[in-house]
Structure 1
Amino acid sequence: MTAAFARLWAFPRQFLFVWLLLALLPALASATCHKTLRWADDPPFSMQAEDGSVVGIYVDANREVLQRLGCQVQLRKLPWARALRELKIGRLDILPGAFKRPEREHYAYFSGTILPPSRNILFMHKEALTRWPVSQLLALQNTDFRLGAQINVSYGADFELLMRDQATASRVFMSANRLNLWGMVAKRRIDGVIADENTGAYEIHQLGLEAEIQPSTVVVSSAAAEVAFSKITNDQAFVQAYAKAQRELVADGSYQRIVKRYVLP
């Protein structure tokens, strides 16, 4: 046994423990939390930029909140249905843009409604705006207005009532691709499209159709989405800290600045 080892062995155990703890402190201090965050091709909320980076309103906002909490972020590209399954089994930590549902509360915590709601509004051709200066969707029921909407998208109570009228429903053009609907408005095949206000503004700008298609004052639905957290990989203390940081993001104007990166005022 060497002299140095003998001195270490003779050192009181409590001091040895303290010595080992001090040696490990640099590694412990550098440790951070790691969270997986879902994204998909859904501009302007999440998308891949020309340089290959993943950006968007939800991506940037969540990165900022998690950075404030000292967390590193790993992005996972997932379709919505699979994202819910991955959240349930703990292979996805955080899912932005989720609505609280009783069946989801079994496996997910929710942030609460903190971010301003992203409303579904009616975008109309400029000529249609002049012809139908309406403020409610149901005011179009007994007109010849031609409406465009997406398949398998929920637009709220007024749209459901509108679709119950057979004559009105016959003038609603359903499509799986919203970009096709914007093209139909530009060609005057339909008069308007229901879309998320941020998504619509972004896509119309990208297509160069701002002079022809404009947002109306008709708000079709305005439910606010939340952020969902897997109960397997998160606890309520983390969710509360996240919600506090997200409220600060809104209060200090950071969230609105993020929105303006992708949506023109």
Structure 2
Amino acid sequence: MQWIPAQVGTRGTRRGGWLLAFVLLTLSPANASEPCQKNLRWNDDPPYSMLLADGSVRGIHIDTHTTVLERLGCKTVLRKLPWARALRELEAGRLDILPGAFRRPEREVYAHFSGSVLPPARNLLFTHHEAIGNWPADSLQALAETPFRLGAQIDVLYGPDYLQLMSDPAYAKRVAMVSQRSSLWRMIARGRIDGAIADEHTGAWEIQQLGLANVITATHIVVSTEAAEVALSKASNDLAFVAAYTAALQELVSDGSYQQIVARYLTP
């Protein structure tokens, strides 16, 4: 089925000529009356997607992509799926849109990718307010030469710099390993370790929720960065819809709406 927006009018005109172009391209008597409805994946991953106390599902990814679909005149249906199953459902066409996906050759067989529209996901070093002043550095490797005490999650990979450090048995022995990231924040607050690595948005949200924003801060040290994209199932999305979706997502960034969504969850 080709895509046709459910609503076209002055609102669409404001979003630019690209929307009208795709409407004309895909319009036909056979599909003009078919409503646009897309399945969007979510899971418990604050602040990107989460179940709120009022029973609603919200978060940076949810607000971003429901807004894009609304601008395209599409209804959003949320599906809670663990990551591995989400990929299988995307391949089968039972899941239409999967945010936060990294482009891999095996995934390109069954998914279109939006390209790097949203800012890259960065892993930052978070430290106690006093720690980074005690040992000023501009990289994780530079801190390895100091008494800085790092904490990390078991079986979590933070990028090549971290892997290089952990390949040294003497350094790896110094790193405090725990299963839950919340334990790392509490260990920093209590002075048991000096810092930990986390996704910049996830770390900021969790620290804020724990009431530790006045104790723990994100540093300028970027441990790793890789641009995630939006994966759209080839089985349920044609190229016209993928192009329109990508354009609408880009506009969300350009007009400041995406930054407002991020601030909604990360501003104290």
Task: Please report the TM-score for the alignment, with normalisation by the length of structure 1.
Answer: 0.86
Question: In the alignment, which residue of structure 2 is the partner of 1:233?
Answer: 236
Alignment of 1:69-218 (within 5 A): 69-218=72-221
Tell whether the 8 Å contact from 1:138 to 1:158 is kept in structure 2 after alignment: yes
For 2:204, the aligned partner's letter is A
Q: For 1:35, what is the secondary structure of its paired residue?
A: strand
Q: Work out the percentage of aligned pairs sharing the same amino acid.
A: 62
Structure 2 residue 246 is matched with structure 1 residue 243: yes
For 1:211, the aligned partner's letter is N
| Distance of 1:174 and 1:85 partners within structure 2 | 32
| Distance of 1:245 and 1:109 partners within structure 2 | 16
Question: In the alignment, which residue of structure 1 is the partner of 2:54?
Answer: 51
- Say which one has the larger Rg: 1
Matched residue count: 239
For 1:243, the aligned partner's letter is T
Structure 2 unaligned residues grouped into runs of 5+: 1-30
Question: In the alignment, which residue of structure 1 is the partner of 2:14?
Answer: none
CA offset at residue 147 of structure 1?
A: 1.2
| Distance of 2:105 and 2:94 partners within structure 1 | 21
Deviation digits for residues 64-116 of structure 1 (CA, Å, limit 9, x no counterpart): 00111111110011111111111111211110000001111111110000011
CA offset at residue 30 of structure 1?
A: 6.0
| Distance of 1:215 and 1:150 partners within structure 2 | 17
Q: For 2:130, what is the secondary structure of its paired residue?
A: helix
Q: Structure 1's 56 and 239: CA in aligned 2 closer, same or farther, altered over 3 A? A: same
Q: For 2:99, what is the secondary structure of its paired residue?
A: strand
For 2:166, the aligned partner's letter is M
Query: Larger % of helix: which?
Result: 1
Task: Please report the TM-score for the alignment, with normalisation by the length of structure 2.
Answer: 0.85
Q: 2:257 aligns with which of 250, 254, 257?
A: 254
Alignment of 1:55-66 (within 5 A): 55-66=58-69
Tell whether the 8 Å contact from 1:145 to 1:171 is kept in structure 2 after alignment: no
RMSD: 1.6
Structure 1 unaligned residues grouped into runs of 5+: 1-27
| Distance of 2:191 and 2:82 partners within structure 1 | 32
Tell whether the 8 Å contact from 1:142 to 1:168 is kept in structure 2 after alignment: no
CA offset at residue 29 of structure 1?
A: 6.3
| Distance of 1:152 and 1:66 partners within structure 2 | 35
Alignment of 1:14-33 (within 5 A): 31-33=34-36
